[in-house]
Amino acid sequence: MVDIRQTISGGKGWFERIASKIPLYKGYKQKEEAREADMLLRQHIAQQLADQLRAAEDVTSQLLTGPGLAQLDDMGQGNTRMQTLIDKVKTAAQGYAGLFDSIKVKEEELETLYQFDDSMLTKVDEIGDAISSIQVAIDESDSSKIAASVRRYVKTVSDASALFDQRKDVLLGLA
């Protein structure tokens, strides 16, 4: 994936290029760009998760018939956790600290936060793989494989959500 930070800094106009020569403005602007890049990355992650949720809902509807009916509750639980994760990602703090805030967020912490959010894309892929394995099990009409695949999906979503919960520790510099 393209690094969003480079896209943002590459789109500067002539005024911003001149203003970036002013030392105090330059530091302020770099922090704002880092926050904007992180926000755009989180929006991208939320969109990718929403796409995965749609795929999971399609698979859930296929469980209504055949050997997967017994896994419907667990699949619904996984989908609910997925929606909760999407909401967490969309509403997560940006790493902003105002002039008088007691906790100051430095450039290094913003970089760590961006890297943390970027690592969440791996979790999105893992969730997609889990959903694909459910589809394969449904296609094979293997009830034990469907059950194992649904458990994997629920665990993968739960693990991704638990990982994202650690984001606040990154923001506070505790991780």
Q: Give residue 99's domain range.
A: 4-171
**Residue 13 token pair:** 């106009």
Helical segments of the chain, H only: 4-10, 14-19, 23-62, 72-91, 107-140, 143-165, 167-171
Q: What is the pLDDT of residue 158?
A: 97
**Domain count of the fold of the chain:** 1
Per the model's pLDDT, the better-predicted residue between 65 and 27 turns out to be 65
Rounded Cα distance between 173 and 175, Å, is 6
Determine the pLDDT at residue 41: 85
Instruction: Encode pLDDT of 32-65 as tens digits.
Output: 776 777 788 889 999 999 999 999 999 999 999 8
159 or 9, which is more confident:
159
**Distances in whole angstroms, Cα of residue 90 to Cα of each of 42, 45, 72:** 7, 9, 27
Percent share of the chain, pLDDT over 90: 49
pLDDT tens digits, one per residue of 83-118 = 999 999 998 876 554 444 444 556 667 777 778 888
Cβ pair 59, 138 in contact under 8 A = yes
